[in-house]
Chains A and B, each alone.
Chain A
Amino acid sequence: MYRMLLAAATAGAIILTVPALADDDDDRGRRGDDHHTRVSAVTHAATKAECGACHIAYPAGFLPAASWRKMMGDLDNHFGESAALDEATRADIQAYLVSHAGRGSGAPQRISELRWFVDEHRDEVSRRELARAGSWANCGECHRGAERGYFDDD
């Protein structure tokens, strides 16, 4: 996973440091000094505005291109809601997400169900903290720097 995100990060160009997403048991220096968990925050204005209205604008590098294509092809049925957009904006956002996507197989629709995500959060969050956030999808409630791509700030 580390390697996959590193590749995504490098491709993403605006990346500054490498996300530390290896298994918890594997602590080969990954929590070292200046080692910020940072993925490329969304830099595309339309994506930030439109995909940031109901939740944070999730960094494109968290899902592979096939995930974004699938999701952007069915915005009328987006996790139980309509997130429909006019076609020009939809296509523009899809192009951004796909070109900044991470790697991975299949077309998972939830970051919060990815293996690394489950591993990172399993022993770290109490029921009460999760209840306060309301949902795993509400990253910003627990990670104050989520909009800027920081996830190690708690």
Chain B
Amino acid sequence: MMWLSGGFIFRRGTSVYHRLDPRVKLLISSLMFVTTLLVRSLYELAMVIAFMVAVAAVATVLRRVARTMALTFIFSTVIFVLNLIVTKNLETSALYAVRFVAIVVSTSLFFITTSPDELEQVMKTFRLPRDVVFAFVTAVRFIPVMMLDTLQIMDAQKSRGLELEKGNIIRRVRNMIPVLIPLVVNSVVRSGELAEAMESRAYGAVRRPTSLVEYKASWADKVVAFAAVAIFVLTAYSFYFVLPTTVL
């Protein structure tokens, strides 16, 4: 949970990267993601990761990305060990393990630099139905509220003698029930109230709602997008035709 929230939750930033059009940021992250899948050696993977670190530096989120990397380390160790058992090949196992880190970093770079507002914009440009976009918007909007809710319920139940940190794993999961039930009840009440408030503010009145803010890709956005595609093509080309292939 913590590593997820640290590595994927947006915080306001003022870097040039933050100010890019969200669609361009999505493009960059997607291309980096695909590149990690094209990689066939640790050497190539190191180059890709170096590139991601450079992007993180431009976006002034190096520290957070570093923490994400450190936290994914546990998972990649598991991947490494499992692969080693199955393939008995050190380099392939290492490649899979490090690739996992790279995938997480490419994804988290998008999420930590893109505000929920921008995410909504991206979804709209993909012409997703209004209801789907709105469901997503409210889900993200209420994450901090639900987190606070959970903490409050936990405190309340603890003060009534519930011991959350005691016992074996089964016992601990069972102990979460008195926390989960009020949480579910709260959410049901909340969705009822949300539905009433939506109706009262003309939700669904017209097929094509307008928007207060307008996102337009500037020429700088377009240049960056073009450069990203060019770098991607060059990298893919060099992976297959220029650099020597080692494994896979």
Whether chain B is bound by chain A comes out as no
